Amino acid sequence: MPKYIAHKDQELHEHLEGVAELAKLHATKIGMGNYGQLLGLLHDFGKYSADFQRYIADAIKKNDPQFNPDEDEDFEDPTGRKGRIDHSTAGAQLLTNKSDSSNAHKILAQLLSLCLVSHHSGLIDCLTTDNRGTWDSYSRRLSKKDDKTHFKECAQNIDKNILEKINDILADNSFTKPFEKLCRDIVRGSSEKSPLSMVAQLHIGLLARFLFSALIDADRQNTADSEKPKTARYRLQGNYKPWSTLIDRLEQKYESFEMDNRVDEIRREVSVHCLHAATRSKGLFTLTVPTGGGKTLASLRFALRHAKEHGMDRILYVIPFTTIIDQNAQVVRAILEPKECPEDTDKIVLENHSNIGADVQSWKEKLLTENWDAPIIFTTMVQFLETLFGAGTRGARRMHQLAKAVIVFDEIQTLPIKCVHLFNNAINFLVSHCGSTVVLCTATQPLLGSVDEKKGALKLSKENELMPDVGKLFDDLKRVHVHDCRKSPRWTYPEIAALAVGQVKQNGSCLVVVNTKKAARIIFEEAKKDGLEVFHLSTGMCPAHRKQILKTIRQKLDDEEPILCVSTQLIEAGVDVSFRSVTRMLAGLDSIAQAAGRCNRHGGPEIGHVFIVNPAEENLNFLKDIAVGKEKSNRVLDDYESDPSKYDRDIIGPKMLEWYYQNYFYDRKDVMDYPVNANRNDTLLNLLSTNSNAIADYRRANRTMPSVNFCQSFMTAAKLFKSIDAPTRSVIVRYGEEGKELVNQLCSAFEVEKQYGLIKKAQQYAVNLFPYEFEKLVEQDALCRVQEGTEIFYLDYRYYSKITGISLEPVRKEEQFKDEFIDSQKHY
């Protein structure tokens, strides 16, 4: 028998068997291990062709260091003949040919075939629409000619033991049973009880993505470990520290806490309630606790016990801002990776937030991509949503790690409004069908269970709440008085700065929270004129920089030194600081309540003061959610002014927040399904479910319905999906000596093993830029690649201020870091 190669130093049958084993393990989490195994055995079936074997042999002879046959399907044949060598379609053709005539077999075959033909591109469209019309792109792909897919040749060449395993799986009488059961459960769980409903079709699409994830991660892992065996040691492969050990470490920490005041006692009570609730059955929960109530450790106490109780695989913390990840991950790591256990360093808590480099990565950079193989993961809402709905394979490969997991959403009120229905459906799918538990944490619970059920509402009830008496908890933790200082004419920036300076002189410290980076810079400069020590915080500063500023701020607050901080809204969601007073520019009432949580956080004897001001000049054209929230806050604040007793005389209490959300959600209900312009006005919710517009177009053009069972436009939707309105790109800044040394090392590190650690470290020195910011810096020659051919950039030191972070213009010399780095790399 001739020897068939999958990759350099790896025979094809070894690769197929290795991927099948891993994919089966991943898919077993939802009771579909056989499907994962089958996908693994079939995914590279097309590599049994002579064309592909000639291609890979020539590439190996050329010893091309950039060679990766799995990068995409449009690579150039090194023999000189350009064009595709399709090795994905043949496996799908084999599967459909071997499927029996039953309806269940045919439907399942399409679902699995979607994964096979998509495993280098991201899930393809079933129906595709462009300016030429709508066509059945799935059937077109499966009907490709043999001279393109080499199906017959591969069927003759396939290893016998591989073919036997494929046949055994397909011949099993119970082959379709897990799929049929899940489909029935999905239909029963939908409000319309119909397999053709929007919710049911979206959940089927999520199932396809889950199985796709199981295959992709298995394929990428097996390939990477074969080509670079040393990288395998970085994978934990689920061999984690026992939950019981981590529980003991957290309980020891709780035993060390001192009860200095009533707030400390309330935090302990909150954590005890979470501890007792951990024995509940898996499901969907809310944890509604006022800011400063100790949600982070209390939710961790619940998650660890719950994971042990139900044998779950991992815990994910999904957090809106990298600032909170910096803080919370550090707190959790200090407890669960104690210094006296150095063997656990970086093996328990994984942070995954900043995307270093562009969305399209080289094969070497793909090797370094995290796949969430850790017991406790801190990530962002952006990363979470990209995993479920984003384009390509990088994010999708993580989705299977969301099964059998405890997923804690911190500050859930920051969920982008356009993602509400997509998010709700995904959470219901993970809880109902993937064995996961979800906890929504916030002081300001959005009404995610009260939106349109036909499009997807969370299955919430009063029994979902982990706290027995939320109203009493808010009363007990009331530590501030909120002053509605809106006026006409509105507040100028100098007036806001003067108010803040006056509060520092009167109370000792003040925090100003604004809606834009521009406002932060102007008020910061104005406040400095008075001679006070003023600090600035914004997302224009890298995490390492923000950490250092926050450390200094906390120390000065502890020492009771007069201090003023001007910050964008990044500080108001979970950052552990406590000022004597807070001034908040008018925004959504949820944001105002969160900002108030930075005032008198630990319950001092004197009540704190929060001032709401309406600014005279503010451009929110690109911040629609903030603009609408500001408008609705004006309305409910007017309501409160007319009858405070109606809202228990608490501007940021539960009744006011519920009224605010009713107004806000009603006004935004038409954008919750993620509207897009995809050759027509449509929504991502529709594209990923019933795809009714595409079906109607197809029917008009062909006078018949599409012949496929699933009609979703997966790839079109994924390319249109962005969890935030503008995509960002990360650049590395040389903040301090550590930042400069990091860039030096990245520019000189060619070994994958060395790059792995450096790129993880670089997340602390990365700043995300909007496209216009990136392009402006490019025009000024301010961005350099760390190495030729990479999409990882670092910033010219003249464009980074040690006070305010990234600047689109060269900063003053006194704000620059002294830099002796010689820019030897090519600029962008």
Q: Tell me, rounded to whole angstroms, the distance of Cα 278 from its chain centroid.
A: 25
For residue 775 the two structure tokens come to 């392009």
| pLDDT tens digits, one per residue of 475-503 | 888 889 999 999 999 999 999 999 999 99
Burial per residue of 599-613, b for 16 or more beta-carbon CB atoms within 10 angstroms, e otherwise: bbbebeeeebbbbbb
Measured distance CA(279)–CA(288) in Å, rounded:
19
Low-confidence ranges of the chain (pLDDT < 70): 1, 62-84, 234, 322-323, 326, 353-370, 573-574, 725-727, 750-757, 818-828
Measured distance CA(698)–CA(543) in Å, rounded:
49
Cβ-contact 6, 12 below 8 angstroms: yes
Report CA-CA distances (Å) from 330 to 259, 334, 350, 412: 23, 6, 10, 21
Q: Tell me, rounded to whole angstroms, the distance of Cα 586 from its chain centroid.
A: 28
Cβ-contact 259, 413 below 8 angstroms: no
Instruction: For 376, list phi and psi in degrees, rounded to 5.
Output: -135, 125
Q: Of the candidates 520, 521, 525, 537, which has an alpha carbon nearest to the alpha carbon of residue 571? A: 537
For residue 144 the two structure tokens come to 């490709």
- pLDDT reported for residue 678: 75
- pLDDT reported for residue 476: 86
With a CB cutoff of 8 Å and minimum separation 6, the contacts of 571 are 323, 511, 513, 537, 565, 577, 595, 598
Three-class DSSP category at 358 = coil
Measured distance CA(36)–CA(216) in Å, rounded:
10
Instruction: For 730, list phi and psi in degrees, rounded to 5.
Output: -95, 140
Q: Residue type at 805?
A: G
Q: Tell me, rounded to whole angstroms, the distance of Cα 491 from its chain centroid.
A: 37
- pLDDT reported for residue 82: 34
Is the peptide bond prior to 489 cis by the omega test (within 30 degrees of 0)?
yes
Measured distance CA(712)–CA(823) in Å, rounded:
48
Cβ-contact 221, 373 below 8 angstroms: no
Residue 133 pairs with which residues in a beta bridge?
130
- pLDDT reported for residue 823: 47
Measured distance CA(17)–CA(777) in Å, rounded:
48
**pTM for the complete prediction?**
0.87
Q: Of the candidates 337, 376, 315, which has an alpha carbon nearest to the alpha carbon of residue 253? A: 337
What is the DSSP secondary-structure string of 374-402? SSEEEEEHHHHHHHHH-SSSTTGGGGGGG
Instruction: For 442, list phi and psi in degrees, rounded to 5.
Output: 180, 165
Q: Residue type at 674?
A: Y
Measured distance CA(721)–CA(800) in Å, rounded:
31
For residue 362 the two structure tokens come to 């080289």
Q: In 568-691, which residue ranges form alpha helices assigned H by DSSP? A: 589-596, 624-642, 654-668, 684-687
Report CA-CA distances (Å) from 48 to 12, 13, 68, 142, 158: 8, 10, 17, 18, 6
Q: Tokens 């979607």 belong to which residue?
A: 114
Cβ-contact 324, 411 below 8 angstroms: yes
Q: Residue type at 370?
A: E
Q: Tokens 């603009």 belong to which residue?
A: 627
| pLDDT tens digits, one per residue of 261-294 | 888 899 999 999 999 999 999 999 999 998 888 8
Report CA-CA distances (Å) from 344 to 333, 347, 482: 10, 5, 45
